[in-house]
Each structure stands twice: as C-alpha cells, then as structure tokens.
Amino acid sequence: MTRLALSEIAKRLNLHTETFKRWIKQGKIPVTKSGNFGIFNEAELNKWAAQQRSSFRTAGPDEKEENCFVSCPLLSAVKEGGLFKNIEGRNKDDVIRSSVSRLSGIPNNLKSEIYEQIIKREKLSSTGIGKGVAVPHPRSPLKQGLSYPMITTCFPDKPIDFDSIDGKPVFVFFLILTPSIEVHLNLLSKLSFCLRDSTFINFLESGPGFEIFLDRIKTMERCME
Amino acid sequence: MKWFKFWRYPGKFDFYRSDDRLLLIQIGIVVGVLSGFASVGLTWSLSAMLDSFAPFRQLWWAFLIPALGLMLSSLFLEKIMNEGAGHGVTEVIYSVSKVGGLMRLRSCFSRLISSCLTIGSGGSAGPEAPVVMSGAAIGSNIARFFNLNERQRITLVGCGCAGAISAIFNAPLTGMIFSMEIILGEWSMVHIIPIAAASVAGAETCRFLEGNRIAFESSAFHITSYDMAACFGLALIAALASVMLTRMLRKMHHISVKIPVPFWLRAAIGGAIVGLIGFAVPDALGEGYHTIHAMIHGMYTAGLGVAAVACLTKIITTSLTLGWGGSGGVFAPCLVIGSFAGIAFQRLLLFAFPTVMWSGEGLFALLGMAGMMSGLLQAPLTGLFLIVEITGSYDVMVSLIIVSALSTAITHYFEPTSFYLKDLIDNGSLLRPGTDQRVLSDISIREVIETDCIAVLPDMLLKDFVEIVKKSARNFFPVEDQQTGRFLGIINLNKIRPYIFNTFLYDTVVVEEIMDSDPEVVFYDDELSDVLQEMDSKNYFSMPVISHARFIGMVSKATLLDKYRDELKAQTFHIV
C-alpha cells in the first residue's frame, strides 16, 4: 500500500486534481481517500492506468536538466560546433564538403548524408543572407546522430560565390545542425539578430580567434534577453 | 476506538481493495434479506388491512374508506415525511442517475406506510414500487453506513430493488432483470453478481417467511397455432391498453393539480370517486391479485362487455388513485388491466370464431399481463420473466416473447418513453451510464478550463501586443481593466492576423480597437452540456469562461475531447 498526497497522485497520473477527487468519490479509480491523502496499491494503479490512456509515472516528475543548452543556446551551440579557418575549395559545393568533413563527433556515413541534405537545401534557394554571410543547413532537422545542436563557424580561404541575395561573395558561413525544428528556428533567429549588427560583421571580417569569438557571442546573447 | 471505526470502512481493507465484488456480494445479500423483510412486512400488513375493512365493503359509506386512506396517505407523505407523492421508481432512477444513488433513510419505510394506507383502504395501486423504493433506500443507506463510493452504492441500490421485487413476487430472476433493465440501465458484470446474490437472498427470505408459493400458479396450456396467431392481436390490445393507462395517468395528474383545493382534500376526493366506482365494479379496487387468480384459473365468468368495462374502469381507478395523490405503484394494476384485456380479447375471439378450439382464458390473461407490463415499462424482458416466474408456465415462453416484444414496439410508437422515465427525460435528469449526457454531466467546467492565456490591457499598443503574442501558446488574449481586473473583451488572433504583420499600424493601433468587446461567454458554473450546445450552435471551437465579471480561462473543444475520452474510459472501465 502506498500513501501519497492527492495532488501528487493526480500530477503523476496527469489528471486534473478535481477530476481525480471526483473519480475517487465515484469509485472510478482504485484509490481510496483518507483526508488529503490517497491510498493505493501501486501495481493495481499501474494496471488501471495502462488500461486508461494515461500512464502512471512512478518516479517524481523528471526535473529538466539545468544546463547551458537551456539558458544560453546560441553560445553552447557555437561552442559545440567549433570554428574553422582556411577552408579550401573553389566553389560553394567544395567548401561545404570540406567543412562538413571537419565536423567533430559525427560518424562518417552521417557526414555524407548531411552534405547531401545541405546541397539539396542550397539548390532550393541560397542561404547566403547578404553582407558576405551564409547560414547553410540541412533541409530537415537530423533525426539521429546528434544529441546537441551545433553551429560550426567556417572561414573559407578566399571569398566564395554563394548566390547570395545581394550577390556579394561569402567570407564566413555558419553550418547549423539541430535535432529539432524549434531549436533550429530559435538558433537561426538569434544568429540573425547578431548578423543584423554591422559591427559584428566587421568583427567577423577581422577573422577573430575562437576564444574572442565566443566572448563576443556571449555578450551579444546576453543583450538579446 | 479506532478499531471500532475501522470496520465501517470495509472498502479500505486490503482484502477487498483489489476487487470489491466479494464485498458487494456480502453486503448485497444483507440488503436483499432486508428488502425481503420489507416486502413481506408490506404484504402482511396489506392483507391484514384488507381483511379488517372487508366487512364494511357493502355499507353505503364504504366509498369513504378509500377517501380516508388516500387522504391519510398523502398527509403522511407530504407533512410527516416531507416527500412528494408518486410511485417511487422514478425517484430511485433519479437518485441513481443524478446523485450517485443517495437516498434518505426515511425512504426505507415512508412509502411502505403510505402505500399500505392507499392500497389497504381500497385505492387502486400496487405494492411493488413502494417496496422497490424501500429496498433501494435500504441499499443506499447501508452503502453510506459503510462509506462506500458511488459506484458501489449504485450497485447496492440495484441490489435493494432486485431483492424487493424478487421477494414480493417470489421471482428472483425478475428481480435481477428489473434492476438491470429499469433501475440501473446497464448490464455489466460488476453489477450482475451482487444483484443476483441480493435477488436470491430476497426470494429466500420470502420463502422462509411465507413458504415457497408461486403467486399465480397455472395449469399447463396446450398451445395451438391459432393461439399463436391470436398473440399478434393480443399484443395490439395490450399495447393500446398501456398507452391508454400512461396517458390517463398523466391526464389525471394534470387535472388534479388544476383543482384549487388543498392536496389532502384532493386525495380524499380522488379516493371517494374510486370508492364510488368500486360499488359498480368491485374488481377495480385494491391491488387486485385475487381477480388475477380467478382469471388465470379460468374461474372468471363475466362476458366480453363486463371484462372490457372492468379493464377500462381499472385504468380509470388507477389513474385516479395515483394521479390525485395516492401512493403506490403501477405493477399490480398493470397486471390486472392486462389480464382483463386478455380475457376480453379471448371473449372476442370466441364470439368471432366460435368453431376454433382456443387454449383457455388463463393463457390469454397471462399473455395480456406480459404485454401490458412490457408496453408500459418499455421493458420487454422484465415483463416476460415476471410472467414466466409468477405463473410457473415455461411452456408459454414463445407466445410470451411474441406478445412482449410486439407490445413494447407498438407502445413505443405512441409513447416513446417508458412511464417511469417520462418525467426524468422531460427535465433532463435521466443519465444512463456510458451515454453522452452522463459523461458531460460528470465533467465540470473547472476540470477542462485552460488558464494559460495571457491577459492584456486595453491601452496597450499593437507593437507591445505583438511581443505578448510571441510569448503565448494560445490564440486568445483576454483584455482586462487595469484597475478592477474586469473582463472587457477578447482578442482572437485568427481575426487580427492580417493586421499584426503590418508594421505601420504598430504605433497607431491600441488593443482596445482590435478586441471583440462583446464576445459570447460562458460562466464558471454552467453545465458542460449547455456550453457544448452553445459552441455547436454557433460553430465555436473555444469560448471564454467568466466568473463575477472576471476572466477565468478558456474552454475549448480540443481539451474537452481529451477529458471526454478519459471520462468515458474511466466510466466504462468496469463494464467490460
């Protein structure tokens, strides 16, 4: 026999407290009430919950891991992705291929898929957003092989024609890989906020080192909040 | 002391926790025995009263006896017990569908006494419905004593009804079926077993006290194909009689409430008229079981005209007794009317086809009873099994089925709802388990309300409002007065979508200008079924909920479907 607060059981069953109390009163759920507590047999309630739509979570509500991916997503994604300079290649496809091959922590077979996906997306319309910057990304979020979102900052050894909207050749591009649409949109919007700032573009043109670059991202992300 | 209290909570014993059927069977047997006692008690006091009034029946003032009886009966119910007149079955069904089977303790005996006064003095009514009410109240109060939950209490109310019917007719099967078909309206395993136990307990109590007798034992019938053909005609006659009784009962009630006299005087007038009719047709008085006996055994001598008149008279006296303030059921009068109708039909057949060998009037009386019962109660199984059990004639089964089913169908054409349920359906309180109304009436608005809408102020600029839109997960934004918090109106994102992307408007438009200042709202205490009806008729998917001029949240069909399914599943969990 387990004894728990009524509101606690209701929460674990994903039920409204009022509904839960009424069900006890009407005898629709194998729980008996004793003051503000409910008494039940765990196995039996599990069985009941399985027959219903909801499931009974035995453990307490899983607290969301408090990590930097929640508090400052852009900084952690940029950190995860890394920064590469002097990417070789004569055209768009070449630089993308060589930057994808430099990605760390991703199996090789996935790399070729990522490359194809990115090229497919580029064919749809160029991700060159002007001012010499591009944000290439796969057409749809990666379903597997990626546990954290990553933004890889790449500087080609010479500016590349990217079919950008303003026709300017691209001197830096950010490769965005995310596990879900929400994260993708969030990162993209934050990144574009940074790129709207012309001082940031100038900063990028100076070809900063990774540490200085991260510091700049950190301050800019703080500004957004 | 703690132990002393503990035994009153058997639902919490570990032994019963996983499956309470055993508990319900045990308590159900107790309930069945007690309702058996109630029914035997009523039968004995009724026969004692009828016997003591028998010598005065021939005197000129005998019509005053039913008048006095009805008056006392209505005074007792209204003034002492504080309960309205009526047969009681409707009250039981109401309590099962609306209040989780709760009944008052005094209902255990109130109807017994009042119906004893009504019937014992000569009023035309039956003792069954009062006993059913009493049994149901016994079940409900025992459940309350043991602190059982609503589902268990409803089962025990069913047990009480089953025990009562099975004891008064010595018919355990009928008790069960009556309880499931009419009182509970659902056939689920979790109910059947305790109710069967209670039914047997009730019947055994009656057999122990009164001996194992079959109420209207009949001799075996030799049924020919002519009799079978006659069943169809009889079903029609029985159905017409039951339609007539239903309408007459209602009409009498309407007439009686229009007469500007106190209720007890009204009851007395009704009783006096019944008494006067009784001079001419003595068979129309009382419960009338002796008449049924005579008819089944072929000892009823009157011809077609007399039988038909008796049938009509019984309909009139019954509706007078019950409609003008007497207390009792329609079971017994129904049987009497049915058998009169059967006899009349048989006399008609004899007259029309004198050469055919008909099976005897007992058979027709019996079939008439079944047809009448099934028609009036819209419960073919109850009618069928009652007749089989109280007459002990299993060989008439096929003809009984024909008559019961046909009569139910024909009556349904004229009177789509059963006599017991008519009032409940009219005021929307018949909620059978597993139905849409039942599910909706259980869920309250507070359970489905969504409170995660972000409120905005009326003088907010569109620019600032767009920022709020970014944060919200909902399409609706209530507008509230800054000082009082009063609900002023609502913004539906779908309606303003074309404008919020227009940046020229950002600094020129305020929230007040884009809100719907007179939206359709629902209130916190509204019934969910009304809310849904409102949504359906106006084609809304969500509506704001208001309480005391303040916005509480939104109620939407999407969330409702979620809760609706949960509720339906929880409700029908025990049926499988």
Mean per-residue pLDDT, B534-562:
89
Helices B64-75 and B107-120, axial angle in degrees (round to 10): 170
Residue for token pair 């995860």? A80
Residue of B nearest to A54 (CA): B566
Mean pLDDT of the region B11-35: 84
What's the rounded mean pLDDT across residues B64-73? 86
B149 to chain A: which residues are within 8 Å by CB? 24-27
Which of A59-68, B80-89, B107-116, B155-164 has the weakest average pLDDT?
Answer: A59-68
Residue B241 binned pLDDT confidence (cut-offs 50, 70, 90): very high
Does the distance separating the beta carbons of A30 and B17 come in below 8 Å? yes
Which of 434-453 (B) contact A at CB < 8 A?
442-444, 446-448
Could B444 and A48 be called an inter-chain contact, meaning their C-beta atoms sit closer than 8 Å? no
Angstroms from A22 CA to nearest CA on chain B: 9
Q: What pLDDT score was predicted for residue A55? A: 61
Tens digit of each residue's pLDDT, chain A (225 residues) = 888 888 888 888 888 888 888 888 888 888 888 888 888 888 888 888 887 766 666 544 444 444 555 667 788 888 888 888 888 888 888 888 888 888 877 777 788 888 888 888 888 888 888 888 888 888 777 767 677 788 888 888 888 888 888 888 888 889 888 887 778 888 888 888 888 888 888 888 888 888 888 888 888 888 776
User: Would you list which residues of chain A are within 8 Å, Cβ to Cβ, of chain B?
Assistant: 1, 15-16, 18-19, 22-30, 32, 34, 39, 41, 44, 48, 51-54
pLDDT in tens, A185-221: 888 888 888 888 888 888 888 888 888 888 888 888 8
DSSP-derived letter for residue A62 is P
- Total beta-carbon pairs less than 8 A apart between chain A and chain B: 59
Ranges of each domain in chain A: 2-51, 68-224
DSSP B167-180: HHHT-HHHHHHHII
CB contacts of A18 in chain B (<8 Å) are: 444, 446-447
B chain contacts of residue A1, beta-carbon cutoff 8 Å? 14
Q: Mean pLDDT over all residues of chain B?
A: 86
Where residue B411 falls among pLDDT bands split at 50, 70, 90?
A: very high
pLDDT grade, residue B559 (50/70/90)? Answer: confident
Task: Please indicate if any CB of chain A lies within 8 Å of the CB of B102.
Answer: no
**Residues present in chain A in total:** 225
Q: Which residue of A has its CA nearest to B442?
A: A22
Pull the structure tokens for residue A168.
Answer: 């300017």
Query: Considering only CB atoms, which chain A residues are within 8 Å of B565?
Result: 53
* CB atoms A19 and B14 under 8 Å: no
Spell out the residues 6+ positions from residue B322 whose beta carbon is closer than 8 angstroms to its own: B86, B87, B125, B249, B252, B253, B328, B330
Query: Is residue B26 scored above 60 in pLDDT?
Result: yes
Count CA within 13 A, CB hemisphere, residue B398.
10
What is the pLDDT, as a whole number, of residue A65? 45
- A-chain residues within 8 Å CB-CB of B570? 23, 28-29, 52
Residue closest to B165 by CA, chosen among B133, B193, B140? B133
CB contact under 8 A, B18 and A39: no
Residue B474: which residues within 8 A CB-CB, separation 6 or more? Answer: B450, B452, B453, B454, B554
**φ, ψ of residue A178 in degrees (nearest 5):** -135, 155
Q: Is the pLDDT of residue B87 over 80?
A: no
Which CATH number fits the domain A2-51, given the four candidates 3.30.160, 2.50.20, 1.10.10, 1.10.720? 1.10.10
pLDDT of residue A66: 44
Interface of B with A in 288-347 (CB under 8 A): none
Chain A touched by B19 (CB under 8 Å): no
Question: Which residue, among B2, B99, B102, B150, would best test binding to A if mutated, counting the most A CBs under 10 Å from its CB?
Answer: B150
Residue B175: what residue type? G
Tokens of B119: 């019937």
Own/partner long-range contacts of A97-106 (Cβ < 8 Å, ≥24 apart)? A99/A152, A99/A154, A99/A173, A99/A175, A100/A175, A102/A152, A103/A150, A103/A152, A103/A175, A103/A177, A106/A145, A106/A146
The class level of CATH for A68-224 reads alpha beta
Write out chain A residues lying below 8 Å of B23, CB-based.
none
| Nearest beta carbon to residue B447 from set A19, A25, A26 | A19
The two three-digit tokens of residue B269, written as one number: 């007038």
φ, ψ for residue A148 (rounded to 5)?
-125, 150
Question: Strands A2-5 and A37-40: what pairing?
Answer: antiparallel
- Using a CB-CB cut-off of 8 Å, the residues of chain A touching B100 are 25-26
Subunit contact A26:B100, Cβ cutoff 8 A: yes
**CA distance, residue B148 to nearest chain A CA (Å):** 8
Interchain pair B443, A19: CB under 8 A: yes
B575 has pLDDT over 60: no
Closest CB to A27 among B17, B149, B565: B149
Is A137 labeled as catalytic in the residue annotation?
yes
**The pLDDT of residue B85:** 63
Distance from CA of B187 to the nearest CA of A (A): 17
Residues A100 and A86: their CA atoms lie apart, in Å, by 14
pLDDT in tens, B278-317: 888 877 777 778 888 888 877 777 778 888 888 899 999 9
Q: Which of A102, A19, A116, A78 is nearest to B439 (CA)?
A: A19
**What domains, with CATH codes, occur in chain B?**
2-210 (1.10.3080.10), 225-426 (1.10.3080.10), 439-571 (3.10.580.10)
Mean pLDDT value of segment B414-431: 84
Question: Which ipTM value was assigned to this complex?
Answer: 0.79
Of B17, B148, B151, the CB nearest to A41: B17
The closest alpha carbon to B278, from B440, B61, B424, belongs to: B61
C-beta separation of B136 from B171 below 8 A: no
User: Does pLDDT of B183 surpass 60?
Assistant: yes
Catalytic pick among A137, A154, A184, A204: A137
Instruction: Answer whether A23 sits within 8 Å of B570, measured CB to CB.
Output: yes
Q: Is B234 exposed, middle or buried (0-12, 13-18, 19+ CB in 10 A)?
A: buried
Q: Do B444 and A18 touch (CB under 8 A)?
A: yes
Helical segments of chain A, H only:
6-12, 17-26, 42-51, 68-71, 73-81, 92-101, 108-124, 181-196, 198-205, 210-224
Average pLDDT over residues B113-119: 88
Cβ distance of B12 and A32 shorter than 8 Å: yes
Number of helices (H), then strands (E), in chain A:
10, 8
Strand order in the sheet with A172-177: A83-87, A150-156, A172-177, A133-134, A128-130
Tokens encoding A19: 């509904």
Cβ atoms of A134 and A96 closer than 8 Å:
no
